[in-house]
Every structure is written in structure tokens, then in C-alpha cells.
Amino acid sequence: MLATRLSARRSAISNGLRLFSSRPIVKTHSHGRISNRILHAQTTSSALQDTAPVYQPPKTGLLAHIPRAAVPYAELIRLDKPVGTYYLFFPCLFSTLMAGLHTVPAAPPSSVIGLSALFLTGALVMRGAGCTINDLWDRNLDPHVARTRLRPIARGAVTPFNAVIFTGAQLLTGLAVLLQFPFSCFWYATPSLILVATYPLAKRVTYYPQAVLGLTFSWGAIMGFPALGVDLLADSAALTAAACLYASNIAWTVLYDMIYAHMDIKDDVKAGIKSIALAHESNTKTVLTGLAVTQIGLLAAAGSALGAGPLFFAGSCGGAALTLGTMIWRVRLSSPADCWWWFRNGCWFTGGAIATGLAGEYVARLLGWYDEQEKSELVKQE
């Protein structure tokens, strides 16, 4: 009986010690007050660990079929989420089609298609490099945001040193793609590297990092002109069109990324990250409407500078107005899933509409449809 009591007492003491040792030790100030910052960090970290999913290797899609060692690097460049590549590519496509209908005679389809393929390759490479640079800058912020805590650098699958080496390899690949264009494109493209490298810093100092993203992602709106041999400095109409197209795409980028930013609005507050969604949380749809009007107006100005016809204004400008208006009206900003759906599909709705209108205008110029119309009008006047 005595042995049983002693054993029970030892067990109780042992359990008490384990319970005491499992409690977190919190440092206090000299006046005995608990540090609010330490408590906040512990609370945020604990809540994140309780609610965020555990990383699982991809079992479907492209990433499920590549070597296991390459998966973190494929995730780093968002190979499984290509919508960012398409958003980067569309301004390149717009400017290539716009430059193609501006050249006299109109640029041959082989040149337009070949350059568009090169731009798509470059968009894939440079978007990947931008994502890697972004994750390097955000390696201490991403672990505190539920959506980003499982990114390769944040979860430790890729070291910062290896990420830097990987970035260098991507930039060299991007240079190899760039050198396939006319050499004048090199001088037009180089300044964009500064924007690619500095964009992640913007979210730390301003509530409008989307504006810097717009400057970066819209750069392709300039590149189609020199790619087709149009000298922007010697052609005032082309320069005006390129400037308006670039500004139009900046407005579009801010618009769709503002919707995207609403996915993380709660976590951004906790992590101290700034965004336009936080700055205009109470009047987001009003701001989105203003951005849409600005984008469409500048797009129309770009077409007017080149003497675009009704196919462009009805297809590109009208299509953009219809798709953007629908998206702004229907998107539920309080739902991260709905924001993601519109961000992902809005790329094709609006980008596809603008590209279709420009392609129609290009084909009309290529086949001389407007020339025949002008001749018939002249005959009627005579």
C-alpha cells in the first residue's frame, strides 16, 4: 500500500513538472509588465499554426510529374500559377499588334506571331525571376501570412543563397531571350530591371505598391514598337500611342491587383504590410471604377494616336468596358476565393477582349479593308 501511494505521488509530481515546463516563458520588463510585442508575436504565430494547412507535395498538375528536387524551384517561379505570366505577356501582345498595324505596309503575320512567342517566353522567365526576388525580400514576412507561409523560401525548402543563384540563372536566361529581339530593344528593356528588383520594397513604405507593380508589369506595352522596328523617338504618333498604352496598362494592373490584395487584407494588417486595399477598404469599388475609366480612356487615346478604326474601338475599348464593368459589379471583395476567381479569369476576359479588338484591327489593315472603305467614300463624294 505504501509503495502504491509513493508511486502515485511521484507520478503526480512528474505530471506537474511536465505541465509547468510546457507553458511558454514570457519575458517581462523591469516594472513587471508583459511585453505586448512578444505576446502579439506569440499569439499571431500560434493562431497561424493552428489554422494554416501543412505543406503537402503536389499530387496533380504539372508539378506532380517533375523531379521531386525541382518542385520547390517550380513553386518559387509560380509555374503552377501561370496567371501572372499572362498578365505580364498581355501588354507585350497589345503593343506588338498596335505596332504591327502602324507600320507601312502592315507587319507580316509571321513577324507578329514570332515576336509574340518570344515575348511569351520572356514573360515566363522574367515573371519567375520577379517572384524569386519578391520571395527573397519577403522571406521574413511570408511566414506570417496564411497564403504565403508555405512558399519555398518561407518554409525552408529553398535557402536564400540558392534562391540568389537561381535568380542569376533566370536573369541570364532572360538576357538570352532579349538578345533575340532587335538590339534597340536592349536599351528599352534594361530600365525595367530596376523596377523588378525594387517592387517588393514598395509594400514596406507605401500603401500603393500596386502602382510600382503597374510600372513593372506594363513595360511590355512599350516593347512591341522597337521589336517591329518602329523608332519611338522619331515617330511622334507611335510615341504617343506607346505612352498612352503604357499608362492604360498601369491602370489595369493597379485595378486587378487591388482585387488580388483583398485576399490578404486581414493578414496584411497583422504583418504590417501596406496595400491599396487597406488604404481604400471602405470605397474600393469606387476606386476600381475610376481605374477602369482611366484605363479605357487611355486605351482609346492610344488607338486614336494611330488612327485606329471601329474594330479597335468596339472590340478593344468596348470589350474592356464590358468585362471590367462586370467584374467590378460582381466581385465579392470579402471573399478571398471570389477575389482569386476574378483575378485569374479577369486576365482572359479583359486581356482577351483588348487583344481580339487589336487583332481584328490588324487583320483589317493587313487585308486593306479600310482602304476599300475609304475609296468607296471618295467615289460617293465625287
Please check whether residue 34 lies inside any domain of the structure: no
Mean pLDDT in residue range 44-63? 68
- Cα angle 257, 263, 267; round to 5: 115
Question: Which residue reads 493578414 in cell numbers?
Answer: 267
Please check whether residue 70 lies inside any domain of the structure: yes
Please check whether residue 207 lies inside any domain of the structure: yes
Q: How distant, in Å, are the alpha carbons of 151, 200, 277 from that of 274?
A: 20, 11, 8
Please check whether residue 170 lies inside any domain of the structure: yes
CA dihedral sign of residues 279, 284, 287, 291: positive
* Residue 205 clears pLDDT 60, i.e. is over it: yes
Number of domains forming the structure of the chain: 1
CA atoms of 255 and 336, how far apart (whole Å): 16
* Residue 21 clears pLDDT 50, i.e. is over it: no
Please check whether residue 11 lies inside any domain of the structure: no
Q: Give the range of the structural domain holding residue 360, as residue numbers without chain letter.
A: 62-381
Question: How high is the pLDDT of residue 193?
Answer: 82
Examine residue 209 and say whether the peptide bond preceding it is cis (omega within 30 degrees of 0).
no
- pLDDT-derived band at 278 (thresholds 50, 70, 90) equals confident
Please check whether residue 361 lies inside any domain of the structure: yes
The predicted-structure confidence for 84-122, as pLDDT tens digits, reads as follows 999 999 999 999 999 999 998 889 999 999 999 999 999
Please check whether residue 317 lies inside any domain of the structure: yes
For position 371, which CATH number holds?
1.10.357.140
The predicted-structure confidence for 315-358, as pLDDT tens digits, reads as follows 999 999 999 999 999 999 989 999 999 999 999 999 999 999 99
pTM, rounded to two decimals? 0.81
Phi first, then psi, for residue 34 (nearest 5°) are: -75, 140
* Residue 135 clears pLDDT 60, i.e. is over it: yes
Instruction: Identify whether the C-beta of residue 192 lies closer than 8 Å to the C-beta of residue 218.
Output: no
Please check whether residue 339 lies inside any domain of the structure: yes
